[in-house]
Structure 1
Amino acid sequence: MIVQNHGALVGWTSRITDERFILTIENFQIQDKKQRVEPEVFTLTMTNQQAALLGNYLLEKSGQSRVPESERTWFRRMFG
């Protein structure tokens, strides 16, 4: 059974272990926004390759492109 929750993304964190990428997503379900004080938290564990594929997919779908390392100045590294 597939459960679909539609909500607003309000935050995320990530960490890398030896061979895994752990992504924690925080969201409010649309119908619950006024009722909840704390967001729902979902944790996804994936390989580093899956994380890279997901990142590239999101960049492509959003129409954004990654800044090549050669163009990442000190200012951009510090302030985005």
Structure 2
Amino acid sequence: MEDSKHIDYGALVGWASSQAGDRISLRMQSVTKPPPHERDDVHSHIYLMDRNQAVQLANYLFEISGQSRPSRRGRGLFARLFG
């Protein structure tokens, strides 16, 4: 799957996401040299994925970083009062 002729290396410096129909568009920006950076030094890569792929990527990143997933929102008022 990996062909060294087609691997791009760089340091991640920014990202953004947006909805693209039923898919998620993930734009990642990287640089290949140390600062200070000029506008032409920043390279953008855009990836389209479905929601399942986005969840799998997020879970993978939490796992390899050793961080825990964010907790779900607190219990609602009704559950706190009568739970």
Match of 2:10 among 3, 7, 10: 7
The aligned residue for residue 22 of structure 2 is 19
Mapping for residues 1-80 of structure 1, pairs under 5 Å? 2=3, 3-30=6-33, 33=34, 37-38=38-39, 39-70=42-73
Query: C-alpha root-mean-square deviation of aligned residues, in Å?
Result: 2.0
Distance 1:36 1:69 in 2: 38
What TM-score do the two structures reach when normalised by structure 2? 0.71
Q: How many residues align?
A: 69
Percent identity over the alignment is: 32
What amino acid does structure 2 have at the position aligned with 1:64?
A: Q
What TM-score do the two structures reach when normalised by structure 1? 0.74
What amino acid does structure 2 have at the position aligned with 1:11?
A: G
